[in-house]
Amino acid sequence: MNSPTGIPANSPANPPATSPAEAASPQPSPEPFGARLRRAMDDRGPLCVGIDPHASLLASWGLDDDVAGLERFTRTVVDALADRVAVLKPQSAFFERFGSRGVAVLERAIADARSAGALVLTDAKRGDIGSTMAAYAAAYLEPGSPLFSDALTVSPYLGFGSLRPALDAARAAGAGVFVLALTSNPEGAEVQRATAAGGAAVAQTVLDHIARENAGAEPLGSVGAVVGATLGRADADLAVNGPLLAPGLGAQGATAEDLPGVFGDAVRNVLPSISRGVLGHGPSPRALREAAERETGRLAEVLG
């Protein structure tokens, strides 16, 4: 039936009328990322698998270094693992290098992985100020965006306060952010281990900010820290009441057995990230699944 204006009564331009009570009723808040991540890690095991389709890995799978190869690789990983691992972590740069067609592959991967039950952490390491940071937050952390993810990696090295648009957007959407703190690359120490104005290391000031963001959260805060598994020892207070993303296992040299020494009492909140150690077993979906299961079992034994 048409309205008097000629617009169909149920069209978006002429939505059904809502009662004042319906309009005034508050919408339920989304479940926080920290709670969803804790449940996923408990149910599926503490493993994050990176999706890093760099040229050499595509070649090892017998794929061309083009959009078709990228799409085949990504779809195989998502189809094989998204229904069984806690987190998938696509590295945005390996999709961006193919331009808009590569980003379209990333958009579909995020949507498909989330539909299959995995949490998606987009590894883009965004960091900027003001309206630019707000635009990054809108791209990755606002529902309705084609790139909307469960969490995003961000860089605090323009000042932790510069991350406020991302922190606020994530909280409103029930999403999370992982803040670079003590990264696995050796070059990071020249900034992260430097002394801040108050006398603490720069990385510790970042961790302290994260702890304040997570204060009172149950069972786990939604603001995580990135702390490399390759550090040997963190020499920092990691009690941030949030998840600790631990890159560096496998190709970078760290092992599951290194994690208790690095993370100490915070080890239960560690989310180890492995990329080539799993992806190198492709292109067989069965081999990918078996590799992920082995890594999950090994990590569960060490982390408890």
Catalytic residues: 125
DSSP calls for 217-235: -SS--SEEEEE-GGGS---
Looking at the chain, list the stretches that DSSP marks H as alpha helix, in order from N- to C-terminal side: 20-24, 33-44, 55-60, 67-81, 93-96, 99-115, 130-141, 164-173, 189-192, 202-213, 259-263, 276-279, 285-303
In a 10 Å sphere around its CB, with 0-12 CB exposed, 13-18 middle and 19+ buried, how is residue 289 labelled? middle
> Cβ distance 161 to 193 under 8 Å?
no
Q: Distance from CA of residue 228 to its chain's centroid?
A: 15
Could you tell me how many residues make up the chain?
304
In a 10 Å sphere around its CB, with 0-12 CB exposed, 13-18 middle and 19+ buried, how is residue 151 labelled? buried
